[in-house]
Amino acid sequence: MAAESISTLPTWKKLEIHQGEISRVLLNDLFANNPKRGIDFSIEEAPLFIDYSKQPVNHDTINLLVELAEARGLRAKIEDLFNGQVINRSENRPALHHALRSKTDHQVFVEEKNVHSLVVSELEHMEAFIKLLHSGEIKGFTGKSINTLVNIGIGGSDLGPRLATQALHAFADGTIQVHFVANIDKQEIDAVLERVDAEQTLFILASKSFTSLETITNANTARDWLARNGAENPCNQILAVTGKPDAAKAYGIRKENIFMIWDWVGGRYSLWSAIGLPVAAAIGINRFRDLLSGAEKMDHHFRETSFDQNIPVMLGLLDVWHINFFGSETLAIIPYDQSLALLPDYLSQLLMESNGKQVKQSGEFVDYNTGAIIWGGIGSNCQHAFMQLLHQGTHHIPAEFLVASRANDNNIEYQRLLFSSCIAQGEALMHGNQGHEGISNDQLIKGNHPSITIIYESMTPETLGMLLAMYEHRTFVQACIWGINPFDQWGVELGKKIALDISATIEGNSVIREFDSSTRQLIDRFSKA
């Protein structure tokens, strides 16, 4: 029997009527009507402070959104997530990324194995490796101590560790230099190999499937580069982080250099696993554990806090409010924090690969919009790039600002200017310059544009852990409202297969299969180059 569409839910219909009412009220007027609005529509879970008061909501809105969450069974779905239920229906798996950072054994079992025991054991494996690495006891093929790690991975095997390593650069002591290679464009690996010493460099082949074309191709290049530089057993300087240890062994990687990740952790949710090895190498295992602790703190907040004071729940519901009731198709992530420059890229995979879906968990097609397009860039650079469109453009684009109240280097003047620039954008988006003297239409900024501002004291391992776990759970909240599966990604498979057909056609210079005239002519242009 066809499952009930959410658009027929009584609460959904109440929200549609409410949207018609509240959309006629300017954000400025919402503030004029409630001097305490700022604090009324903010949530603090230290060190995070979330100000969502510049959103088109009042207390009725919040009550209706919470009512929608209850109607969609969000509370039970959160418990299913943490209890290891098979919530990734299409792949018949649980989603246990939260177990990677849990200090408590919640007695969750997968195939009769205790998940917590597996996680603890692999974390100990990481810890032992990182301590040997930092003490200089891990040597290259000429006996020199290893001082460089190159992570070769893509998607969730790259974006999380790349973001965290950059975000936490202030906590790296420089003992180990870390580089990242992801792209099948050889320029990326060439640029890294030019800068590292084969005698002191370890490579991490990070691939849950151990099949990603980009990663295997780049690993082969690294292996051959090591050999060309004198390594008799190049694979001795390659580690693997994978769910396929047998494939890693067959590749020639030593057993003790193979770190496990499991099917019950999605790639885009895997930073907290051995995929985070480069982060631990850069900042040390203790600070990596602080990252995990921050994420665990957010897990407790998400699982134990009432919905109206629950950060992932409220932000996920606000996303639904914009997407399904205001017709918004994108969300702009704008960190005024250079250390979070990669956050938009990371969140584009997390949110778009999770919720870019057209089918419900029941297998039926949705008849409403689902995941939004996630884009953005750092401030204050954005003010000299895309902020014009947000201020005077014609699209409804919620903006999300993130900024520290204190810089890691404590430079007051710079942080004051950065912080002021960030807060000014939210204010300008909301107020505009309506009513200012002598404003032409060209100069008119209508305002009434929504934004959220996330403030934290400074970017630390715990803060980053909390922040990224918040976005993971926010993704889950959206998916629960829409009834979709955020943990599979069947949509990426077709392109990979066609690429192999095209590559084989070019390589063999014969027609592997018929292509359309566009693809055919494009192939021909490569072949004739």
Q: How far apart are CB 493 and ligand F6P at their closest, in Å? A: 8
353 labelled catalytic: yes
Check binding of 257 to ligand F6P (CB under 6 A).
no
Tell me the residue number closest to ligand F6P, measured at CB: 267
Check binding of 209 to ligand F6P (CB under 6 A).
yes
Check binding of 207 to ligand F6P (CB under 6 A).
yes
Q: Which stretch, 9-17, 155-163, 367-375, 502-510, contacts ligand F6P (CB under 6 A)?
A: 155-163
Q: What is the contact mask toward ligand F6P in residues 431 to 470, using x (rule: CB under 6 A)?
A: ----------------------------------------
Check binding of 278 to ligand F6P (CB under 6 A).
no
Catalytic residue among 36, 255, 384, 497: 384
Give whichever of 166 and 215 is closer to ligand F6P, judged by the CB atom. 215
Q: Could you say which residues in the range 344-363 bind ligand F6P, by CB under 6 A?
A: 353
Taking alpha carbons only, the member of 335, 422, 414, 316 closest to residue 376 is: 335
Q: How far apart are CB 41 and ligand F6P at their closest, in Å? A: 35
Task: Give the three-class secondary structure for 444.
Answer: coil
Q: Which two tokens stand for residue 49?
A: 């402070």
| Amino acid identity at 280 | A
Distance (Å, whole) CA 276 – CA 257 = 15
97 labelled catalytic: no
Phi, psi at 174, each rounded to 5°: 85, 0
Helix (H) or strand (E) holding 78: helix 74-82
Check binding of 273 to ligand F6P (CB under 6 A).
no
Check binding of 489 to ligand F6P (CB under 6 A).
yes
Check binding of 217 to ligand F6P (CB under 6 A).
no
- Prior bond of 270 cis (ω within 30°): no
384 labelled catalytic: yes
DSSP-assigned beta bridge partners for residue 148: 177, 201
Catalytic residue among 59, 446, 496, 507: 496
Question: For residues 487 and 94, is the Cβ–Cβ distance under 8 A?
Answer: no
Check binding of 208 to ligand F6P (CB under 6 A).
yes
Helix (H) or strand (E) holding 259: strand 258-260
Cα 298 to Cα 107, 285, 315, 497, distances in angstroms: 20, 20, 14, 38
- Prior bond of 47 cis (ω within 30°): yes
Q: Which two tokens stand for residue 320?
A: 């639904």
Check binding of 212 to ligand F6P (CB under 6 A).
yes
Give the interface with ligand F6P as residue ranges (CB under 6 A). Answer: 154-157, 207-209, 212, 215, 267-268, 353, 489, 492
Question: Could you list the active site residues?
Answer: 353, 384, 496
